[in-house]
Amino acid sequence: MARRIKFKSEVGRLLDIVIHSLYKHRDIFLRELISNSVDALNKLKFKQLQGEEIADGELEHRIDIKVDQNEKTIEIIDTGIGMTEDEIIENLGTIAHSGTKKFLELLDKKDNVTEELIGQFGVGFYSVFMVAEKVEVVSKSYLKDAYPVKWISEGKERFTVDTVEGEVKRGTSVKIYLKEDALEFLSESRIEAIVDRYSKFVPYPIYLNGRKLKQVKPLWLENPNSLKKEDYEEFYKYLTKSELKPLSYLHIYSDAPVDLKSIIYIPPFSLVKFGIEDDTGIRLYNRKVLIDEKTEELVPDYLRFLKGVVDSEDIQLNISRETIQNDPVVLRLKKTITSKFIKHLKDFLKKDRANYNLFFDEFGVYLKEGIVKDYPEKQDLAELLLFEYTDGNEKITLSEYLEKTDYKDSIYYIVGEDRKTIEKSPYLEQFYQKGVPVLILTQVLDETVIEHIGKFKEAEFKLITREDITLEKGEKAEKTIEEEDKKFLEKVKEILKDRIFDAVISTRLVKSPYCLVSQKNSPSSQMERMMNALNKFYVPSKKILEFNPSHPVYKNLKRFILNSNDKELKETLLNSIVDAAELSEGFLSDIPSSVERYNQLIERFLELDKK
């Protein structure tokens, strides 16, 4: 008995969006239906490889497109896995498998709908309603006891589901009753052009009114020397169901140490930045037979953004998801792909810096993750990192940094909230004066990355906000401290004992009167603030207050501290200096107390003015 069922609200909203937002790209409906047919055939082939019993097992794996000028219909038929009654309701009427919810979530973050998004989230079936007055889907599952079922909809609030009388073979047919303004799709040449544009790499034969259409062989099995850049770009569009071009690609064609035919792509951007999980990845094949749609085990986790195909005759056809992770062939494939891809990135960096910069902006965080998680390739990954630095607007590698400095045994870096604040930091004064570049790190993760690299080409990383960082050598670095200075520093330590670890004469300051530096081996101030935010019981380490002995502020401050009997003003003044030093780092540890001290100083200054 026929049943009338209401669409879920998300699907209803989706239908309205797709129908009205993609009018200029209506031909993608055929691309999406063919893609669905390919998925159905892939799933069937997998069932067969698993040894499952299949209904109508003699049927050829194929896709048929039938155009009827009289009925004004187009029908897309496949001999794939088919659907049961429950599956057809779930797949076409709810959000369970359609990806509708994710699609709608992304729409809330974007200003417009693009055809790339349609295929990206598996909601492409509904694009058929851009050209259809009515759609009839007839499907019969591969299961032996399955019966055929029909799904009918006009793209409105409800759809109808009913059983089908008579003999129906396994698979699915989608019959489209075209709208009057969509009759152009009754042209065979128009249909053939759409198939050629979107579906020429499909691994199953496609027939148009009984005539087999020309298709292209799987690109990864072709000799790389016979292919052009445009071939790789078109194949990427097919894989990702988009019209975007990859940033770069690597074609691996190798027989040893393991049989491997592969094309690996770097996508143009990361969906993760939009808060969307990326459902596409690297497909695993054996002689063009799909083994797994998204094989995460083929590359280390830090390369999970890659897309493409891997084909190996050494892979078992019946390998399961449970055993793939520890399969020795998969492990050899992973090692080979990783090694070749890192080499490719080094070539990419050297030969196409502009596009590599785009790549690093999108995916550099993944390479950093590989270093932090101590993957064996972390030193190779370190060579691929890009950093901002003080002497230019372009980012540089660690090797390029060492080429720019005379201090070959050290890589100096500073950590802060943003470049603008960092560039005015007193810690940089001696480096500006001597023309020594300093890496600028504005991401908290970067500091952890530096720690995990350890050394780079025998050069040690040095955080310039720590104590004992000076470019002076020998006697210049060991300035003689006068007795009067020692007394002053002792007074400062006594008054500020609750706020600082030590007070010393600076060898780094050039223009600024004072600054706060971290103790040796302590994390940066930015890292400590993050740790304090994560753990309220975390106590940041006390800093060292450094004074520039050549600055007028120091000389006048020393005279006042040593000669004045105004204890309260001494405390207020020195604490305000610590406040100012903190502020130069981009933060204040205690804003209310700082404001109170500031007001006290204003009050005392005005009292002096009266006198």
| Binding site listing for ATP | 32, 36, 78, 83, 91, 98-99, 120-125, 172, 321
Assess whether the previous peptide bond of 224 is cis (omega < 30° from 0): no
Are 423 and 416 within 8 A, CB to CB?
no
Q: Could you tell me which of 118, 88, 87 has the C-alpha nearest to residue 17?
A: 118
Report the C-alpha gap between 571 and 592 in whole angstroms: 16
Report the C-alpha gap between 171 and 80 in whole angstroms: 5
The identity of residue 442, as a single letter, is: T
The identity of residue 211, as a single letter, is: R
| Residue linked to tokens 């050494």 | 314
Q: Which pair of structure tokens corresponds to residue 45?
A: 């082939």
3-state secondary structure of 17: helix
Give me the DSSP letters along 37-70: HHHHHHHHHHHHHTT---TTTTS---EEEEEETT
Containing H/E element for 161?
Answer: strand 158-163
Alpha helices in 377-468 (DSSP H): 378-382, 398-404, 419-423, 429-434, 444-453
Q: Could you tell me which of 505, 470, 469 has the C-alpha nearest to residue 489?
A: 505
Classify burial at 266, counting beta carbons within 10 Å of its beta carbon; exposed 0-12, middle 13-18, buried 19 or more.
buried
- In this structure, the number of other CB atoms found within 10 A of the CB of residue 388 comes to 17
Report the C-alpha gap between 296 and 282 in whole angstroms: 7
Q: Could you tell me which of 508, 503, 516 has the C-alpha nearest to residue 578?
A: 516
Containing H/E element for 268?
Answer: none
Q: Using alpha carbons only, what angle is made at residue 510 by residues 506 and 512, rounded to the nearest 5 degrees?
A: 85
Q: Could you tell me which of 333, 351, 329, 331 has the C-alpha nearest to residue 341?
A: 333
Q: How far is CA 183 from CA 26, 125, 189, in A?
A: 12, 19, 13
Report the C-alpha gap between 604 and 587 in whole angstroms: 25
3-state secondary structure of 154: coil
Are 425 and 475 within 8 A, CB to CB?
no
Which neighbouring-strand residues pair with 161? 3, 151
State the binding site: 32, 36, 78, 83, 91, 98-99, 120-125, 172, 321
Can you give the C-alpha Rg of the chain in angstroms?
A: 34
Rounded to the nearest 10°, the torsion over CA 394, 397, 401, 403 is: -110
